[in-house]
Structure 1
Amino acid sequence: MSNWLTDYVRPKIRALVSRNPDLPDDLWRQCTSCERMIFHRDFEQAQRVCPHCGHHMRVDPSFRFETLFDADSWQRIELPKVAADPLKFRDQKKYADRLKEAQTKTTRQDALEAAHGKIDGMPAVIAVMNFAFMGGSMGTAVGEAFLAAAKLAVLQEAAFIVFTSSGGARMQEGALSLMQMARTTVAVEMVKDKRLPYIVVLTDPTTGGVTASFAMLGDVQIAEPGAMIGFAGARVIEQTIREKLPEGFQRAEYLRDHGIVDMVVHRFDLRPTLVRILDLLLRKRRELKAEPAAEPVVPATVGEAPTLELVKASEQPVE
């Protein structure tokens, strides 16, 4: 039987409680630090920094490329492929299955991506670690990708900028993962041998084998506010030394105050800071390339050059 309750009130109530299919699922984001809600437009305008507490939330490589490179000046580097499961490792599930899950979740092949382009007109290669891919762990794929990016920086005479975010070595690859510490260190030395800038931006978290290798070799060490940076975990250190660690230990600001990193830079100021650093480090190289080749300087002489006989005569003792 039709009446005003069924024909008018009930549809209104259903419209209120049912989700609009045209509305996106991620209209609101929750800060992982203060747990307050942020409207998605405000979240993006703030470059994924919480407007309430200033917490810098983790971002993917695409965000770094889009916010740092000049518009329409960059493109991704095709990275070399490696053996997917060299040790046929299995714990609670196969390593190959874990890789596939991470690749499906992130739509990326592994934990490091790289791109080349211009930053304020200056050439740069940027490599970014993705913590969402198996905790940014470093395996053979990360080592190969890092080496490829470093070689391209040398080839293009570009600055090499690396964003670290990692839990350390990838245990499923055993000693092969540990070998990447040496390989990435060699790649850094290739860049430095060509007198090209190597800049590291430490983001939350940077730990383990990454900290023990290429993360701490930068010509300039930058960190994002509040980033956790260290080798072993604070609890392990406390248990080892049997002492209480100081407040803020292994945070970016603590490391800056103790000389481990050069500066802590807010995400809003990161691109201008990189532009200033690159201008300082690349200016002389650009000036030398822009100057025409100087002609060889011929020393001025008065009269004719002395002959061999005159030189010998002048060497004789005077009686």
Structure 2
Amino acid sequence: MAPPLPRSVNLRRVAEEAGVHPSTASRALNPATRHLVAAPAAHRVQEAAARLGYRPDAAAMSLRTGRSRLVGALVPGIANPVFAPILAAAAAALAEDGHALLVADPGDDPAQAAEFVAELAARRVDGLLLATVALRDDPALAACLVRGLPTVLINRSGGEGIPAVVSDDRAGMAMAVAHLASLGHRRIAHVGGPAPLSTGLLRREGFEAAMAAQGLELPPGWVEAAPTYGRAEGEAAASLLLSRCSGITALACANDLLALGAYDACRRAGLRIPADISVTGHNDMPLVDMIEPPLTTIRIPHAEMGRRAARLLLDRIHQGTEAGTAVLAPALVERGSTGPPRAQA
């Protein structure tokens, strides 16, 4: 016969073990009120809770405080390696404040994203991190606004006055173009991201402005926007550029997954990278240094993005702080996918 399950340990038992009043134990175990308890007493309470295996009753705490200590996050493709370091850093920052992160993946479906917002709101999340929003008329963002949910955007801006943490997309693309130009490239095409997303629009604008700043011609048709950020979409866009644009020596891609697709298109066309054509990406997602040749790309500080977004959201939850967009600086990472054009090799 199996032994009986141990009875759950309540807050009163923890308080008795630590020699304090239950209200003191409650404050000591709540990150938001821990500062109200003398450090030695708080340490005794935390030590007693750990020793006894105490876990707060989340439902009771939610009823008492009006907060669930849960934060939701929507990402457009949880299998995309870009989001792993962002979510890990956000989860760590939230855990320091006693919050847990719930992640939902609506893919590229705006209606599904809005449904997930409704589901997370029904679970009384304290706030939301959104990495899915489009520039205009985004259903998920509208669902957050109508419910008054504290919201922060990650890696996207939504044009709705909602706080966001983003990379400087224009500057990143300017770095890629300047790098290619320094190698001697003059005929550079752009595999762009989805136009409805801020990353697609701003990186295209950055590419076009950088080409003009370098004094380089950009003929009509030398920019091809992919409908989504994916390897297959990158291959299709790069193939179109290679077939219709004579003399391309470099492809500047708006995303590393698009760049991987460009690798496929170049190889299918019999072009060697970088001997025949150079390719750059954008994001520096995990493992792009392991492909052959390793990808020259624009590094986004993903972990810092996750941390900043989480802390910004916590400020909104606790203090109602209204903040603007935090723009993080990107950096060029030069690897083996870029070199001088054929004529100068």
| TM-score bracket for the superposition, by shorter chain length | under 0.3
Which structure would you say has the larger Rg? 1
**Higher relative contact order (CA closer than 8 Å, sequence separation 6+):** 2
